[in-house]
A and B are shown apart, each in its own frame.
Chain A
Amino acid sequence: MNSVAFPSTTRRQPIYQVRPVDPLPWYRRTESILWPMATITVMLLIWEATSRIFHIPIYILPAPSKVVSVGLEHGSYLLWHSAVTTVEILAGFAVSLVVGVLIAILIIWSKAFERAVLPLLVVSQAVPKIALAPLLLVWFGFGWEPKMLVAFLVAFFPVVIDTVTGMQSVPTAMRDLARSMGTSRLQTMTRFIMPHALPNLFSGIKVAITLAVSGAIIGEFVGADKGIGYVLLLANGRMETALMFSGIVILSVIAMLLFYSVQFIEKICLPWHVSTHVLPHGRM
């Protein structure tokens, strides 16, 4: 047979029928947000009530209302410092992502690299990265570099490990399929191995982004003149506990926003994956 198309034959009834599904009502769709929100509200109310009833001193435990008012009072100050910290986090995270994926690709491509580097990488995780922060300060000064580096050091390992795990789990049949199509090494990586590892990469990224937040703060604790970590130390020294709480709240908000941004990107990148619930009948 030389032509590409088939000789036309009688068309049959489709074996499988498709049927549209009604979308979920609003109260079912927002359920996952409403419940935790309710929990937090109740906890805040209890906190507020306790601190008022028992007259807890403000330098020990300020009431949520006090935290909010102090936070608003120092609004622009906190905002500027959180911008500094966010840039450090994102820089460290970005470097850990690029370096992490590159190391993972090298591990998959070269048996020698895997044997020489992977065990060292695993053992190196025994080193508490926090202990390296003062050293980085000596090497790179008080600027953003040591903060970014600490963030990178704590964040890149889960990226490497999860990506390698995903890449190694490509089934033999899929490798055979790729070989039977005559794929080049690069094609095998970009068309088969990388997309297959993407769900694992994203779980690594989600761990990495939260670790990067801690990394940047540790970097700031060791020595900084700006950033939320600096604000926390300063407020601590002055016993301004309400301001410390404001800083912690802002930091948590940053971490949460970053985490959910990653999750949002994941949803866009992995519309096919079970974790993103594409199944029309899969309301599990």
Chain B
Amino acid sequence: MNAVVRLDRVCKVYNTLERQVVALDYVDINVQPSEFVSILGPSGCGKTTLLRLIAGLDRPTEGLVWVSGRIIEAPATDLGIVFQEPTLLDWRRVLANVMIQIDVRGLPRQPYEQRARELLERLGLSGFERSYPLQLSGGMRQRVGIARALVHNPPLLLMDEPFSALDALTRDRLNVDLQEIWESDRKTVVFITHNISEAVFLSDRVVVMTPSPGQVAEILNIDLPRPRRLEIRETPAFSALTGRIRSVFEKTGVL
């Protein structure tokens, strides 16, 4: 009942000139406090729509979205979002990019600047506080994006395929680092991805979506012990979980 995020029979229909596109078709999802939940599905299954509804950036056609016990009717500000693209402000240096959250919200600079520096250090960006985004690699930029989403200490973190534009090695590394940061303050995370092994590696629960129109195909509990290391992907327990998800995708015609 005290779920941080609650989607209650949510539908989203986009009207174009020629036709109606059903993006989400009666979706029910609950996310508990401190839970890491992945929404996993093929492209075009409404994953990003789902995230935009939770963030209040879009309104559902039908149904209700609750965040922290309140119905979302306007853009929610009590959360952090990591976008698919790093979406950094090119004209601000790395530290200032993280601190934009604090500046715009009118929070006290001093304690948060310390937190910002600490986040950057944990994300391996010490020494780059005064660099401009265009001087960083793609992986480093996305790390700055993560620091920015966490600096104001929101109870909820939304991540929209944050690592999909990165190469496999950088992605692995960021998965490990994200997990480490998550372990230290256990924020509620909704993580959108189309990568099966990434979803299993990071999550407490994986919500598997059907192809368009998006519906919940299955919800899997991931009981693998934490902290997880990359080697866990080699274990039979891990393979069983990814295999199960793959079979769901086969059944729903994705694979």
For B93, the chain A residues whose CB sits under 8 A away are: 272
A280 to B103 alpha-carbon distance, docked (Å): 29
Please state if A16 and B153 are interface contacts (CB–CB under 8 Å). Answer: no
Smallest Cβ-Cβ distance to B140: which chain A residue: A16
Question: What mask results when residues 1 to 26 of chain A are scored 1 for a CB within 8 Å of chain B, else 0?
Answer: 10011110101101111100000000
Please state if B75 and A180 are interface contacts (CB–CB under 8 Å). Answer: yes
B221: interface (CB < 8 Å): no
Of A11, A12, A174, A272, which is within 8 A of B133 by CB?
Answer: A272
- Identify the stretch in A44-52, A65-73, A190-198, A248-256 within 8 Å (CB) of chain B at 4 or more residues: A190-198
Which chain B residues in 111-129 approach chain A with CB under 8 Å?
Answer: 111-112, 114-115, 118-119, 121-122, 124-128
Please state if B153 and A1 are interface contacts (CB–CB under 8 Å). Answer: yes
A272 to B89 alpha-carbon distance, docked (Å): 10
Please state if B134 and A174 are interface contacts (CB–CB under 8 Å). Answer: no
Please state if B84 and A173 are interface contacts (CB–CB under 8 Å). Answer: yes
- Identify the stretch in A126-134, A143-151, A181-189, A205-213 within 8 Å (CB) of chain B at 4 or more residues: A181-189
Of B105, B111, B114, B128, which is within 8 A of A16 by CB?
Answer: B128
A191 to B127 alpha-carbon distance, docked (Å): 25
Smallest Cβ-Cβ distance to B185: which chain A residue: A1
A258: interface (CB < 8 Å): no
Please state if A191 and B75 are interface contacts (CB–CB under 8 Å). Answer: no
A270: interface (CB < 8 Å): yes
Please state if A171 and B132 are interface contacts (CB–CB under 8 Å). Answer: no
Please state if B104 and A191 are interface contacts (CB–CB under 8 Å). Answer: yes
B55: interface (CB < 8 Å): yes
B85: interface (CB < 8 Å): yes
Smallest Cβ-Cβ distance to A192: which chain B residue: B89
A87 to B105 alpha-carbon distance, docked (Å): 43
Please state if B127 and A195 are interface contacts (CB–CB under 8 Å). Answer: no
Given contacts A14-B127, A177-B81, contact A278 B105 (CB under 8 A): no
Of A174, A270, A279, which is within 8 A of B135 by CB?
Answer: A279
Please state if B104 and A183 are interface contacts (CB–CB under 8 Å). Answer: yes
A259 to B132 alpha-carbon distance, docked (Å): 26
A171 to B126 alpha-carbon distance, docked (Å): 28
Please state if A171 and B104 are interface contacts (CB–CB under 8 Å). Answer: no
Given contacts A5-B114, A6-B115, A14-B127, contact A181 B134 (CB under 8 A): no
A271: interface (CB < 8 Å): yes
Smallest Cβ-Cβ distance to A271: which chain B residue: B132
A254 to B185 alpha-carbon distance, docked (Å): 61
Interface size class of B (residues with CB under 8 A): 35 or more
Please state if A181 and B105 are interface contacts (CB–CB under 8 Å). Answer: yes
Given contacts A4-B153, A16-B140, contact A173 B104 (CB under 8 A): no
A196 to B90 alpha-carbon distance, docked (Å): 8
Of B76, B135, B153, which is within 8 A of A278 by CB?
Answer: B135
Closest chain A CB from B132 CB (angstroms): 4
Closest chain A CB from B79 CB (angstroms): 7
For A18, the chain B residues whose CB sits under 8 A away are: 127-128
Please state if B91 and A270 are interface contacts (CB–CB under 8 Å). Answer: yes
Please state if B76 and A279 are interface contacts (CB–CB under 8 Å). Answer: no
B100: interface (CB < 8 Å): yes
Smallest Cβ-Cβ distance to B115: which chain A residue: A4
Closest chain A CB from B97 CB (angstroms): 11
Given contacts A14-B127, A18-B127, A181-B105, contact A176 B81 (CB under 8 A): yes
Please state if B111 and A171 are interface contacts (CB–CB under 8 Å). Answer: no
Of A173, A195, A278, which is within 8 A of B87 by CB?
Answer: A173
Please state if A180 and B57 are interface contacts (CB–CB under 8 Å). Answer: yes
Smallest Cβ-Cβ distance to A279: which chain B residue: B135
Closest chain B CB from A157 CB (angstroms): 25
Smallest Cβ-Cβ distance to A273: which chain B residue: B90
Smallest Cβ-Cβ distance to B135: which chain A residue: A279
A179: interface (CB < 8 Å): yes
For A182, the chain B residues whose CB sits under 8 A away are: 75, 77, 104-105
A33: interface (CB < 8 Å): no
The 4 closest A-B CB pairs, nearest first, are A15-B124, A182-B77, A179-B75, A272-B132
Instruction: Given A180-B81, A278-B132, output 11 extra A-B contacts at Cβ < 8 Å.
Output: A6-B184, A6-B185, A15-B124, A15-B173, A16-B140, A173-B85, A176-B55, A176-B75, A179-B57, A181-B77, A187-B104
